[in-house]
């Protein structure tokens, strides 16, 4: 794995206490991505680990972190207030851990949506753009756009990485939303990929090749931010 992993802890709020984080910084890092996990799996999930490793190969460090409920071993997500406070605390932790690197923020599924909600409420200090690995636009089987209402309040460039078989993001709904904010929103679609970025065999590609594509996309997109 490119770079060394440093284990960190940071306080979410005095009431919620501390959570764990993993900083992976390659020697040639030019951005640090604050990387929130999805609702059902924590920062050490294989997708999180593999994506962080691929990003590091492209000069993007990552700070993976736990939300309090996952840190406590629960399967029930915290309140929205706590989730958003965790995002803000993680961004502050990243800034302290690598003060020389500009920040990106976002995450896998729920982690990405909580980051965009936090950014819509108030600026995330030092963050120059948001990256979503599978933005959960709606619950599976219940297409809607209510979860996108806050995106108009996000004053940052955003990169949506989506599979065209994602059951949590109907591209017929997400595509027009991204087009509406085209001046600062980029949508990158992976053919035959689902919400976990697994692709069909007929694509002729492996999941690892897809991850490499996603990492290259993040690198190319972030290069335009500086």
For the segment 1-21, the average pLDDT, to the nearest whole number, is 90
Nearest to 46 by CA among 197, 148, 186: 197
Q: Hey, what domains does the chain have and what are their CATH numbers?
A: 4-223 (3.40.50.1820)
Residue pLDDT, tens place only, 46-99: 999 999 999 999 999 999 999 999 999 999 999 999 999 999 999 999 999 999
pLDDT over 70 at 198, yes or no: yes
pLDDT over 70 at 1, yes or no: no
pLDDT over 80 at 226, yes or no: no
Whole-number pLDDT of residue 5: 94
Q: What is the distance between the alpha carbons of residues 15 and 31, in angstroms, rounded to a whole number?
A: 31
Q: What is the distance between the alpha carbons of residues 218 and 171, in angstroms, rounded to a whole number?
A: 20
Whole-number pLDDT of residue 3: 74
Residue pLDDT, tens place only, 106-148: 999 999 999 999 999 999 999 999 999 999 999 998 999 999 9
Residue pLDDT, tens place only, 24-52: 999 999 999 999 999 999 999 999 999 99
Cβ-proximal residues to 128 (8 Å cutoff; 6+ apart), any chain: 31, 102, 103, 104, 156, 157, 222, 225, 226
Nearest to 37 by CA among 164, 177, 133, 144: 133
């Amino acid at each position: 794995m490119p770079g060394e992993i440093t284990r960190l802890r940071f306080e979410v709020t005095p009431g919620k206490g501390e959570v764990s984080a993993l900083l992976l910084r390659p020697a040639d890092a030019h951005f640090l991505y604050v990387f929130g996990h999805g609702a059902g799996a924590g920062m050490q999930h294989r997708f999180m680990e593999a994506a962080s490793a691929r990003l590091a190969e492209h000069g993007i460090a990552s700070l993976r972190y736990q939300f309090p409920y996952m840190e406590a071993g629960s399967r029930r997500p915290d309140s929205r207030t706590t989730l958003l406070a965790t995002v803000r605390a993680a961004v502050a932790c990243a800034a302290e851990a690598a003060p020389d690197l500009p920040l990106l923020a976002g995450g896998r599924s729920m982690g990405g949506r909580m980051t965009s909600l936090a950014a819509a409420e108030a600026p995330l200090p030092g963050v120059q753009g948001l990256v979503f690995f599978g933005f959960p636009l709606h619950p599976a089987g219940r297409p809607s756009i209510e979860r996108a209402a806050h995106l108009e309040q996000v004053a940052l460039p955003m990169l949506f990485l989506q599979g065209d078989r994602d059951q949590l993001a109907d591209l017929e709904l997400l595509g027009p939303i991204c087009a509406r904010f085209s001046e600062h929103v980029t949508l990158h679609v992976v053919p035959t990929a689902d919400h976990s970025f697994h692709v069909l065999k007929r694509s002729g590609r492996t999941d690892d090749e897809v991850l490499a594509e996603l990492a290259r996309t993040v690198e190319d997109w972030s290069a335009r931010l500086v």
